[in-house]
Every structure is written in C-alpha cells, then in structure tokens.
Structure 1
Amino acid sequence: MNVSGSDGAEVIIDERQAIAAAKRLAELAITDAAWRDSERIYPLEALSLFSRSGLGSLSVPKEYGGGGLPYRTVAEVFRLISAADPSLGQIPQNHFGLIQFLREEGTPAQHRALFPLIVAGQRLGNGGPEKNTRHTRDVQARLTQQPDGLRLTGEKFYSTGALFADIVVTTALNDRGEAVMAFMPREASGLTIVDDWSGMGQRTTASGTVRLTKVPVDPALVVPLPSANKPSLRGPVSQLLQAAIDAGIARGAFEQACGFIRDHSRPWIDAGVARNAEDAQLLADVGRVWTELTAAEALLRRAASTLDDTASRPLDAEAAARASIAVAKAKALTTEAALKVSEKLLEWGGSRATLGEHNLDRHWRNARTHTLHDPVRWKYHAIGNYALNAVFPARHAWI
C-alpha cells in the first residue's frame, strides 16, 4: 500500500511494494547502465524515480510519516538496484546512513524538522572524509561561532550523493573541539560541490569534493556525534548497505556472464563441444562461483535479520557487537563474491569479453573500487578477535 508524501513523493509502507519499486527502478537503470558508465553520464532520471517512488523514506520511522520498514527490506532494495547499476545503488547509501544517525542521535525537534523533508522526496548527501588527513576520522573542518552566526569552513572528499542532494551533511569540530554533524541546504552560500571524482569504477556516483567557506549553519540542525562508548547500530547499518551493493555487483556480473557465455563466447578448442556453455571445465567453475555467490547473499539476509532483531530490543554493547560481527561476515563474503564474479566474467567470456563495445570490465572496476571503501582484512580481524577472544569490534561507521 502506498500513500502520497506532501510534495508528491510516494510513501511505501509495505515490503512487497518496496521490492516492486526497486525492481522497476532497476529495469529503468539497466537499459543504459553500460553506456552511462562508459560516457560518465549520471543516472538523473533513475534518481528522480527513486525519490518519487518513495524508496528514499523506507527507513524513516512511521511516526514521522515514513515507511518504517525493516533492514532486510532496505538491504534487498539496495541489492536489486546495484545489480542493475551499482553507482545508482551507492548514491543513496549515505542518505540511509544519515537517516540512521538521525534516528539514534537527533532530538525530537530535529526529527520533526528533517524527517518530513525526506518523506517528501528530498535527498541527503554526504560531505565525506577529508582528503589530506592522517585517516578517515581525522577532521579538520571547523564550525565556529561568528558575530553573524555559526559558520562552517573546510574541504571534504568522497562526498557520494552530495551533487544530487537537497541537504548536504558533514562533520566538523566546534569551538570546544567536539565533533558534530551539520545539516545544510544544498544551495547554502559558501557551499560548493566540485565534480572531480575520477575513480576507475563507480564512475557516476560523483563522489568528489565539497568545499565549505563560511557556510551559514542553523544551530538547530547541528547534531553532536556520540561518544565511542555509546552502543550504536550506525556502523552495522551503513556496512549492511555496503555489503548489499557488493552483492548486487556480484549478481549483476554473474547474470551478464551467463548471458555472454551462451550468446557470444566460443568454446576452447580442447573442450570438444559445440557451445562454450557445454564445456565441462567451465560448467564446474560456474557452479563453484554460483555457490559462493548464493552463500554471500544468504549471509547478507542473515545479517539483515540480525539487525532487525537487535533493533527490536534495548541496545547494549554486546548486542551492538553481535550485529556488527554479523554484518562483517556478510561484508567479507560479498566483497569476495563481487571481485571473483566480475573477474570470472572476463575469463569465461574469453578475449572478446574485453571489447569496449560490451564494457564488461565495468563490473570489475565497480567491484574493485567499491570494495576499497573499507578493507576486508579488518573485517576478518574483527570476526576472529570476537570469536577467539570475545573482543567487541571498534565502534564507528566502518564496522
């Protein structure tokens, strides 16, 4: 069942409707995904449909007019969209991460101010980590009190979604040296978005630079970042969506691989078969990879269910750690599946699979680029340390 938001956007309050809307969006996106990647053309029509259809408010609580749907639904929506175009899947990832942040850390007044805008179809964009700092949590941007009000100055990179956003959200240190999150209108004076993302993959995410020069900030829309000691689901929710994107990349590459094997590739001369799809060695390889892919997808669903179960109860450090580890397992396998399937696609298709007219290498470029978001070796470290030593994982947006 769908109802309309205040600006004409739909509000999806049923899981089946959410999946149906995601499939419609995927069908639109896949028609020209290869061409848009090749030419670096942004998915503006698909993004408009994303907002109009109500997909952007799936996780906004029902009491604020949103869908209030479970994480398993949100993860499946991301997987379906990313199987068609993972750049389109990644653009709203921070949008949903910021919704989770608001749910946990925002005040009731901030909920009333911001959630209805999201329900009406507005998108949140991320002014991401900074480029020339020691690590991703090193914040140099400053939010200072000036005679004419709060002003934010700094420069951000990896700002996925900001170019397409209505509201830009970024982290800064205030006058007391405390980390805060500031929500600003996209058209605020002093806020400039530079379209300079040059990554080899995820080419149409516009994950470039946000420059902030004395940008006016409404103090009512500044949210303090929580203490590292506070139990939170912000990290596992963010990582669940990253894992869903990787699972989508893997599924999209696998489906295209099967079609290419059947319709375009030639068998190896020693196989003794008329069609490449009948090669016994290839069949065994496809079977192994498909098994690994479906295992990764199953672990993604299990992780989402763990998050839903955790969110339904009072949250403590142990429950938050259990959710993070469940998602880390899924992230590890979806990372490996995305990389393996996208590489095997080229191997199975043979040399003609590398021709520019097919643009099949985009799957590997997307997988390799997106899985660098956070190193999977640290996922395995966290999982092993938890299993062997009962040590809870670090608490931040990357675990």
Structure 2
Amino acid sequence: MTIRSAGPETVQDAFPARAKIPEPAHILRDDAEAIAIAHALAEDFAKGAAERDRERRLPFAELDRFSQSGLWGMTVPRAYGGAAVSYVTVAKVFAILAAADASIAQIAQNHVSLVDILRFDPVEARKSRYYQAALEGVRFGNALSEKSGKTIFDMKTRLIRKGDRFIVTGQKFYCTGALFAHIVPVLAIDEAGKGHMVMVPRDAPGLSVIDDWNGVGQRTTASGTVILADVDVTESQIVPSHLAFDQVSVHGAVAQIIQAAIDAGIARRAFEETVTFVRQSARPWVDSGQDRASDDVYSIQAIADLQIRLHAAEAVLERGGEVIDAGLLEETAETVAEASIAIAEAKVLTTEISLLAGEKLFELGGSRSVLSTYNFDRLWRDARTHTLHDPVRWKFHAIGNYYLNGIKPPRHSWL
C-alpha cells in the first residue's frame, strides 16, 4: 500500500477540538533549561508519589503541568522551533523525573520516542504539523504492543485502505499514556506488511481506552487496553514508522536510553531513601556494638557498594547519550551498532542497581521499613515492573556477540 502525500489542511483535520490544549506549552531554550525544569517538576511530583501509588490515583493534574512545561517537546529539531536537546540531557531529564515518580516519567516515555520517529516521515506537511503539536503541548500516547501474539513482532492490528480513506482495527495492550493522551499513536500493519504509526485522536469514534492495568508496579501509568473498532483515518494521520528501521538509524537506542534512564531514576530514589532511613530511623543490630545504625560496619559497606554501582550506571548511561548524539551526526551501520551496544550496557547496569537498591532499602532499614506508612515497596515494584520491558539477558548476548564476534545487534526498538 502506498501512502500518498498529505496537504497541510488535512493534517489540521487530524486534531479535533478536544485535542487542542487551552494554551501553548512553554518552548524550551536549551539543555540547561530542560534540566532545571525537570528538577522543579520532580520536587513537586515527589510529594504525592507514595500516596498516588497506594491509592492508584491517576496523575492527570501532574501530567498537565508536565506537558505544559515544554519537556514533551524537548527533542523537536531546531528547524521546527524546538530546542533539540542532546540525548545526554534526555536521559538526565527522565532520570530526575523517575526519581520523583517513575509512573509519571514512563507516561512520557513513548511520546519522546515517537517524536524521533517523525524525522523519518517523507511528508513535510505531516511531519511539521506533528512537531508543532508536540511543541504546543499535545500529548502522544501509545498503542504499540499486543499481548496475543507469539512474539512482540506478531501484530494483528491492521491498516486497510477503503477508497480514499483508511480503516484501523485491532486490540492493543501495555498502552502507557493512552488514557492521558490527546493523540494515540497506533502501530498498525498495512497490506504490504509494513508498520505505520497511525495518529488517532483520543476521542475518535471507534477508539476505546480501557483502564485495566493491574501490574504490581508502575501502578499509575494506566498501561491498559486500547481497542480499535474500524477507526476511520486519513493519510494525513499515517506516519510510515517502518522507515526508522528499514534504514540504519539510532532510533532503537533512542527508545532504549529512555527506558534505562527511568530505571536509573528509580535506583537513585531507592538509594537516597535508604541513606535517609538508616541515618534517621533504623536501629543498630545488637551485636554491632554501635549506638547508631549508620555506624554498623556492614551497613557502611553495603552503602558503599550501592553508591559505586549507582555511579557506574549513571556514568555509562551518560556515555550512552553521548554515543547516540555522535551517531545522529552520521548514521552508519557502525555508529548505529555502537549506540545500541552503549545503551545495552547502560540498561544492564541500571536494571541491576534499580532492583538491588530497592531490595537493600529493606535489608538495611530493618523491619520498620516495611510499614505501609512509607510505601517503600513501590520502588522495588516499579523497578521490577519497568525492567521487564525487554530482557537484560539478551543485552548480554548482544554485547558479547558484538565485542567477541563483531556481530552487530538487530535493529528494533528493543536494542
């Protein structure tokens, strides 16, 4: 199936009144401003994070502040009015926000990844309009994955031509952000077997978003079901996302660095909570001979180990951002492979430290740290849930095969 060029007037038609925000979002100037805004939002979001998780209270108001801050448009290219911040900065922003509330950070995860997909769209009018939407504060959700197929690549959702229009039909799951979105990007397969991102307005007839997410962690992401019952769309809404993978590109690494950054943020929060709790609330073990838990020699050693691992993960994550930024200057088979491997290394370390830090919080905090008053278990639950996005055991395979046998990793959103 060939998707024809779209005129600017039909691109506008893809945005119904409800998808228009009350006023345009802030436009970022540079990387420093993005990081400063992330810190300010994080201070606010952290205050209610435990209660939102405990009550499963969805963060609608918080997301409005988040998307109006300009951070959802931080990677829009300068040629389209954006700040085009580096991926070192993208990783820092997501880590800062995830340390405050990992669910809120994850809700923006696919939006920022999808903004990168737009650069492969050959239709200038469509690309420009969606870049502008991101700058204005329009939130792109996510209806990408399905849970019924044999593998993640076994997609049943279809894009079918009906004269001059198209019909999308199928069912999605793990749809983080769809419930909060203005536009729900739907990954659908055309009659030629190619994947397209169909930008469906949240209130489009035939689109249903079901809040049936009941995961043990990331409880307020609303990562549930999206059903598409013969949703009618125009070519102005169809972004040929397969182009990001039909050619060599760092898009897979872009998608992955956000994942790793969220895990690094969870680890940072768990580590800081551990240090505070051991200093202020934990009791020394009777055989330690100490008056304070913070003077326990085994606790001191454990904190040192956690800090070293966390610093290592954060350093490798930052290096991964630098490799992506370098790869974007010249995307070749080698630079793309280097970016994927660099982020795979970061993903291994951020996964390990996020899980370990969540566990050590209880071990070093002692029995009182498990009281529901603190809700510390959300940190381990969030880490365990989010790190399941793609298996770290296959990161080791990709890394080892690359360095030992010179085999480049596959090109997809999971590497």
TM-score range, shorter chain: over 0.9
Q: Secondary structure at the match of 2:45?
A: helix
Q: Which amino acid is 2:321 matched to? A: A
Provide Cα deviations, 1:261-312, integer angstroms capped at 9, x if missing partner: 1111111110111110110111011101110111000000010011111112
What is the aligned partner in structure 1 of residue 133 from structure 2?
117
**Among candidates 11, 14, 33, match of residue 17 of structure 1:** 33
- The more displaced of 291-300 and 136-145 is 136-145
CA contact (8 A) 1:64 1:111 kept: no
What is the aligned partner in structure 2 of residue 382 from structure 1?
398
What is the aligned partner in structure 2 of residue 71 from structure 1?
87
What is the aligned partner in structure 1 of residue 315 from structure 2?
298
Structure 1 residue 62 displacement after superposition:
1.3
- In the alignment of these two chains, the number of paired residues is 394
**How far apart are the structure 2 equivalents of 1:91 and 1:256?**
23
TM-score scaled to structure 2, two decimals? 0.93
**How far apart are the structure 1 equivalents of 2:177 and 2:122?**
21
**How far apart are the structure 1 equivalents of 2:110 and 2:244?**
21
TM-score scaled to structure 1, two decimals? 0.96
Structure 1 residue 216 displacement after superposition:
1.1
What is the aligned partner in structure 2 of residue 26 from structure 1?
42
Q: Secondary structure at the match of 2:288?
A: coil
**Among candidates 35, 53, 60, match of residue 37 of structure 1:** 53
Q: Secondary structure at the match of 1:10?
A: coil
Q: Which amino acid is 1:212 matched to? A: L
**Among candidates 370, 378, 394, match of residue 410 of structure 2:** 394
1:222 aligns with 2:244: no
**Among candidates 169, 174, 181, match of residue 158 of structure 1:** 174
1:190 aligns with 2:219: no
What is the aligned partner in structure 2 of residue 92 from structure 1?
108
**How far apart are the structure 1 equivalents of 2:376 and 2:246?**
45
Provide Cα deviations, 1:4-25, integer angstroms capped at 9, x if missing partner: x993311112111111100111
**Among candidates 262, 278, 287, match of residue 245 of structure 1:** 262
- The more displaced of 98-107 and 50-59 is 98-107
CA contact (8 A) 2:121 2:127 kept: no
Structure 1, unpaired ranges of 5+: none
Structure 2, unpaired ranges of 5+: 1-20
CA contact (8 A) 1:142 1:174 kept: yes
Provide Cα deviations, 1:76-96, integer angstroms capped at 9, x if missing partner: 000000001100110000001
Q: Which amino acid is 2:292 matched to? A: R
Percent identical: 47
- The more displaced of 57-66 and 236-245 is 57-66
What is the aligned partner in structure 2 of residue 232 from structure 1?
249
**How far apart are the structure 2 equivalents of 1:308 and 1:89?**
21
What is the aligned partner in structure 2 of residue 265 from structure 1?
282
**How far apart are the structure 1 equivalents of 2:284 and 2:359?**
18
- The more displaced of 9-18 and 236-245 is 9-18
**How far apart are the structure 1 equivalents of 2:144 and 2:107?**
13
Structure 1 residue 223 displacement after superposition:
2.2
**How far apart are the structure 1 equivalents of 2:282 and 2:122?**
54
**Among candidates 233, 237, 254, match of residue 271 of structure 2:** 254
